[in-house]
């Protein structure tokens, strides 16, 4: 009886929470509601990924919009052999890299570009009215700036693994590299970040000691 | 075992170092070793703090207008699809005028040939469209046909579905005999013509495309 109830519950749960792969299958079969659910499920994480990659809210939002438009247009390009999350992150990653290249071209054209220091970072309010909050906001800003100073390939791997918390396997599939490459690239990216953020890390280290 | 031995040796040397029993070169080697170790430890700790900080970065969310903007962009895209042939033929937009021109040429040739055959006592092949099936049995002559060979009739229509924000292709495919029956207004509900979903082939008898 108990087992039956558990089975029933799991059946209900699987009905309520279809997997990504089930949703994309449904969408491929013409169910537009499944597309809505995919958007709902992924818009926040893709936004976070794009923002951390680009450091600009508008550009990041545009990348996420374009990712979903691509998904809408090319839904049949997805094959069940890959994990859906890997597939959609690959689309978003490629679009974010393209956006970065476009920005570089724009920078070449525009000499009046303001650079990182003058950018506004619209991150969620973490209590900036208190001293601690302001301190944290400043630290976040430095970290974001340090991430943006990394080359795109280092930036991508550190965001996917340390911020989005994807598995090494998933990161490997997204960046199309073997596990060993993922790990060594991640290590190098972390070391570069540590170099850039030495003062902050040291201060925290001392605080912990 | 080796490690312990190694460790023991180090400790022994460390004692000598502390007591000042080592020559200068050995002293500086130990100092270098200790500095490297301390640096490694510091780096390891820093790495841990870094990863922790990255995990704790606030999650950025899209603006409130995100869904509205996405919906509008999808709607716009669907509307573009409803006016262009590319979505179901997989062509690029710039090829549409070329397609239209080619279709016009085919139709003109068909019409010319049809007129000649009609003059010789033949009968016209008519292209049925969804709209004329529903409203009137009016048909247009495009190409000749022989009674023995069934000629496929394709009727395509690109319909914009405002509810789903998508566009779909509706149409029918059938033989000339089926078409003849379908031409009658009272036959509209009969499943004589097979629904045509995706396999859109332009046949030699003629094409009728509605947008």
- Whole-angstrom Cα Rg for chain B: 40
Neighboring chain B residues of A57 at a CB cutoff of 8 Å: 60, 63
CA atoms within 13 A on the CB side of B61: 8
Report residue A22 CA to chain centroid gap. 22
Mutate to test the interface with B, among A27, A38, A122, A190 (most CBs of B within 10 A): A190
List the single residue in B42, B62, B67 with the smallest CB-CB distance to A47. B62
With vertex at residue B60, the alpha carbon angle to CA B55 and CA B66, rounded to the nearest 5 degrees, is: 150
- Kindly state the tokens that stand for B98: 């070329």
Beta strand B208-210 with B153-161 is parallel
Can you tell me whether residue B122 is helix, strand or coil?
Answer: coil
**Torsion angle defined by CA atoms of residues A89, A95, A96 and A101, in that order, rounded to the nearest 10 degrees:** 150
Whether residue A155 contacts residue A189, with contact meaning beta carbons closer than 8 Å, is answered with yes
Question: Which residue from B135, B134, B138 is spatially nearest to B193, judged by alpha carbons?
Answer: B134
Question: Which residue from B205, B208, B209, B108 is spatially nearest to B151, judged by alpha carbons?
Answer: B205
- Kindly state the tokens that stand for B148: 């023995």
| Domain spans of chain A, in order of start | 19-113, 114-209
Can you tell me whether residue A177 is helix, strand or coil?
Answer: coil
A154, containing H or E segment = helix A152-158
State the pLDDT confidence band at A129, using cuts at 50, 70 and 90.
Answer: low
Report the pLDDT value the prediction gives residue A106, as an integer from 0 to 100. 79
State the pLDDT confidence band at B11, using cuts at 50, 70 and 90.
Answer: low
| Domain spans of chain B, in order of start | 2-53, 66-210
- Topology of domain A114-209, per CATH? Arc Repressor Mutant, subunit A (1.10.10)
Mind listing the pLDDT tens digit for each residue in B47-99? Answer: 899 999 999 999 999 999 999 999 999 998 888 766 544 343 444 444 556 67
Phi-psi map region of A106: left, alpha, beta (phi>0 left; psi -120 to 50 alpha) = alpha
The structure's pTM equals 0.58
Answer whether A194 sits within 8 Å of B46, measured CB to CB: yes
- Topology of domain A19-113, per CATH? Rna Polymerase Sigma Factor; Chain: A (1.10.1740)
With vertex at residue B183, the alpha carbon angle to CA B112 and CA B103, rounded to the nearest 5 degrees, is: 35
């Amino acid at each position: 009886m108990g087992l039956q109830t558990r089975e029933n519950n799991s059946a209900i749960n699987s009905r309520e929470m279809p997997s990504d792969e089930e949703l994309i299958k449904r969408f491929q079969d013409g169910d537009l509601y499944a597309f809505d659910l995919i958007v709902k499920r992924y818009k926040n994480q893709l936004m976070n990924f794009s923002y951390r990659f680009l450091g600009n809210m508008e550009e990041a939002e545009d990348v996420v919009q374009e990712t979903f438009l691509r998904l809408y247009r090319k839904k049949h390009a997805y094959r069940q052999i890959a994990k859906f999350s890997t597939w959609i992150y690959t689309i978003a990653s490629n679009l974010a890299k393209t956006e970065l290249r476009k920005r570089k071209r724009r920078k070449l054209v525009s000499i009046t570009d303001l650079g990182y220091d003058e950018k506004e970072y619209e991150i969620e309010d973490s209590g900036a009215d208190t001293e601690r909050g302001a301190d944290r906001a400043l630290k976040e800003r430095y970290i974001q700036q340090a991430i943006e100073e990394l080359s795109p390939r280092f930036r991508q791997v550190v965001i996917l693994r340390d911020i989005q918390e994807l598995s090494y396997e998933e990161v490997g599939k997204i960046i199309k590299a073997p596990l060993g490459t993922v790990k060594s690239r991640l290590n190098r990216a972390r070391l570069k970040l540590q170099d850039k953020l030495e003062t902050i890390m040291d201060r925290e280290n001392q605080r912990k000691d | 075992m080796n490690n312990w031995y190694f460790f023991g040796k180090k400790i022994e040397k460390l004692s000598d170092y502390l007591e000042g029993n080592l020559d200068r070169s050995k002293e500086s080697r130990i100092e270098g070793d200790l500095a490297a170790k301390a640096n490694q430890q510091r780096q390891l700790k820093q790495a841990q703090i870094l990863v922790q900080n990255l995990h704790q970065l606030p999650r950025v969310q899209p603006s409130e207008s995100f869904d509205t903007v996405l919906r509008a962009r999808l709607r716009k895209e669907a509307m573009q699809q409803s006016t262009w042939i590319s979505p179901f033929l997989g062509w690029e937009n710039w090829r549409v005028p070329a397609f239209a021109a080619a279709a016009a040429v085919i139709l003109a040739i068909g019409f010319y040939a049809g007129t000649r055959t009609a003059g010789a006592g033949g009968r016209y092949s008519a292209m049925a469209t969804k709209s004329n099936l529903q409203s009137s049995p009016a048909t247009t002559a495009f190409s000749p046909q022989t009674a023995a060979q069934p000629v496929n009739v394709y009727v395509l229509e690109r319909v914009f579905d405002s509810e789903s924000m998508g566009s779909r292709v509706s149409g029918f495919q059938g033989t000339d005999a089926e078409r003849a029956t379908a031409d009658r207004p009272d036959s509209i509900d009969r499943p004589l013509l097979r629904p045509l979903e995706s396999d859109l082939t332009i046949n030699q008898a003629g094409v009728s495309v509605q947008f």
